[in-house]
Structure 1
Amino acid sequence: MGQPIPTITKNLLIINGLFFLASIVFQSKGIDLSVILGAFYPGSPNFESWQIVTHMFMHASYPEISHILFNMFALWSFGSTVESTIGQKNFFKLYLFAGFGGFFLFNLVNYIEISQLQKLVEADGISLSEVYNASKLNIHRELINQTTAQVANNANAIALAQQYTTPMVGASGAIYGLLIAFAVLYPDAKLALIFFPVGVKAKYFIPILIFIELFLGVKNYDWNNVAHFAHLGGALIGFLFIRNWKKNLYRRN
């Protein structure tokens, strides 16, 4: 028989599952929970402080289930081993801090892009407050205020409003922190993908995955709506956290 799932990993799986079920229930009533619990850019009229935490438990809405399935499979696969190795308290810290790291790096990149858009909008003679007011959403993910013709007919204003009205959801930042932690703890463990069933050592597999994330994040393809810099932020925190844990472990021994 397989080993039981460690406590924190199991509880995180349950919480993520409950959030997903709640989003389905509210969606059936016309309410989009991602507006309340997803993480908007901090300068957006839709941002609330609690979203820094709650976005980690939200995932793409039903019927899109691949997002939560992949994250929960990774949480179960890697989280169980990492938690058993570093303990419940450290594992919980790692998960949260990696999630925070994903949020902050993603929005640091957003800040650079949005600042450029704001300058372009002002250069076009449109007030930033006009775009801000036109970006307020209600719980049904509908605009509260009527969009002015100036904003509606300006490509830069539309792009800025889209930044204000698009939330980040998912546990991927935290998950990438776990992936990196696993690779540092067990560098010679062999990993494989369904479409690439050949086992590759974690110390090679995970860096390749990170390079792909960096490449896609920098290229910022229109067809790709994945928050790659959130993944990278989580990975960075995961690496720093587990390296510090190992250093302190050796000191104690």
Structure 2
Amino acid sequence: MAQQHPQPGLARCYQHQDRETGVRCTRCDRPICPACMVPASVGYQCRQCVRGAAGASRAARPRTLAGGRVTGDSGLVTKVLLALNAVVFLAVLARGDELVVDLGMVGHAADGGTIFAPHWIGVADGEWYRLLTSAFLHQEIWHIGFNMLGLWLLGPQLESALGRVRFVALYLLSALGGSTLSYLLADERQLSLGASGAIFGLFGATAVLARRLNYDLRPILLLLAINLVITFTWSGIAWQAHIGGLVVGSVVAAAMVWAPRRTRLPIQIAACALVALAILVACLVRTNQLVG
């Protein structure tokens, strides 16, 4: 007669020792009871393995060169900026010079007023919004055409390399940098407008990115040189905005693409904060000169 061996008992759930189970996690092979089971494509997994897999999935998400998230539409922000500029341009066509005077970049100027005193307008009179609103303002079709062409050509590549949030920061800081240098150096009564400061910031950022990736710099430098020649030879162009945007865009982009991976985010935030602080201090000094 054959000798019979006793059947081994069921394993106990690794989380609930009072519960027997015949199911094991397909990832870690630990016994799990129905309360700990999470359905998987094959069998069941324990909750701890599921949480670990989710964390690893988040950590493994692809990132841009500057550390931003890779998105499906790498030109979404560029399209939004194009649309915003177009909407403001249509508003200018509808309202005429009134909107230009209300939103354009001007330092300190008299706008009519009464027989007793003029009505003062400008950044020096507390209208700080002009530093940014002027960057979305165009009055001539050729002006918005050139600026939006530059945005369309340069924007998607930079947005793809930096990520959406960083690209927005680059664009807005470049626009503010251009307006600030105009505020510092141009005639305080001069009214200026346009996205040229931001676009020149994109030129500078594209050159920095090309250098970071060891691409041929000659095409972008040639295009930049042509635009600088136009800036200083054509009348009616606020060269201060172009240079201010170019410098700020280059500095911000350098911090974004050259920062070491381990300290990338703190360096990027610090660089943007320092640029914003420099813009604020410069505007305060200029304001004190004009009305202090």
What is the TM-score with the length of structure 1 in the denominator? 0.63
Match for 1:54 among 106, 124, 133? 133
Residue aligning to 1:97: 173
Question: 2:89·2:137 contact (CA, 8 Å) conserved in 1?
Answer: yes
Please give the alpha-carbon distance, in whole angstroms, between the structure 1 residues aligned to 2:260 and 2:154.
Answer: 20
Residue aligning to 1:212: 229
Please give the alpha-carbon distance, in whole angstroms, between the structure 2 residues aligned to 1:55 and 1:226.
Answer: 14
Please give the alpha-carbon distance, in whole angstroms, between the structure 2 residues aligned to 1:76 and 1:249.
Answer: 29
Q: How does 1:70-89 map to 2 (within 5 A)?
A: 70-89=146-165
Residue aligning to 2:90: 21
Match for 1:180 among 204, 207, 215? 204
Please give the alpha-carbon distance, in whole angstroms, between the structure 2 residues aligned to 1:173 and 1:244.
Answer: 19
Alpha-carbon shift at residue 99 of structure 1 (Å): 0.6
**Bigger CA drift: 169-178 or 182-191?**
182-191
Please give the alpha-carbon distance, in whole angstroms, between the structure 2 residues aligned to 1:88 and 1:249.
Answer: 20
Residue aligning to 2:254: 243
**Count of matched residue pairs:** 178
Please give the alpha-carbon distance, in whole angstroms, between the structure 2 residues aligned to 1:213 and 1:99.
Answer: 19
Match for 1:230 among 235, 241, 245? 241
The unaligned stretches of length 5 or more in structure 1 are: 115-162, 192-199
Question: Relative CO higher for 1 or 2, CA cutoff 8 Å, sep ≥ 6?
Answer: 1
Alpha-carbon shift at residue 211 of structure 1 (Å): 5.3
Please give the alpha-carbon distance, in whole angstroms, between the structure 2 residues aligned to 1:168 and 1:55.
Answer: 7
C-alpha RMSD over aligned residues = 2.6
1:85 maps to a residue whose letter is: A
Match for 1:35 among 101, 118, 125? 101
Q: How does 1:33-182 map to 2 (within 5 A)?
A: 33-42=99-108, 45-47=120-122, 48-59=127-138, 61=139, 64-110=140-186, 114=187, 164=189, 166-182=190-206
Larger Rg: 2
Instruction: Classify 1:42/1:80 alpha carbon distance in 2 versus 1 (closer, same or farther; 3 Å).
Output: farther
Instruction: Classify 1:208/1:252 alpha carbon distance in 2 versus 1 (closer, same or farther; 3 Å).
Output: same
Please give the alpha-carbon distance, in whole angstroms, between the structure 2 residues aligned to 1:23 and 1:211.
Answer: 27
Please give the alpha-carbon distance, in whole angstroms, between the structure 1 residues aligned to 2:101 and 2:223.
Answer: 32
The unaligned stretches of length 5 or more in structure 2 are: 1-71, 111-119, 265-292
Question: 1:38·1:169 contact (CA, 8 Å) conserved in 2?
Answer: yes
3-state DSSP class of the match of 1:40? coil
Structure with a larger share of its residues in helix: 1
Please give the alpha-carbon distance, in whole angstroms, between the structure 2 residues aligned to 1:232 and 1:251.
Answer: 32
Instruction: Classify 1:252/1:49 alpha carbon distance in 2 versus 1 (closer, same or farther; 3 Å).
Output: closer
Please give the alpha-carbon distance, in whole angstroms, between the structure 2 residues aligned to 1:211 and 1:69.
Answer: 18
What is the TM-score with the length of structure 2 in the denominator? 0.55
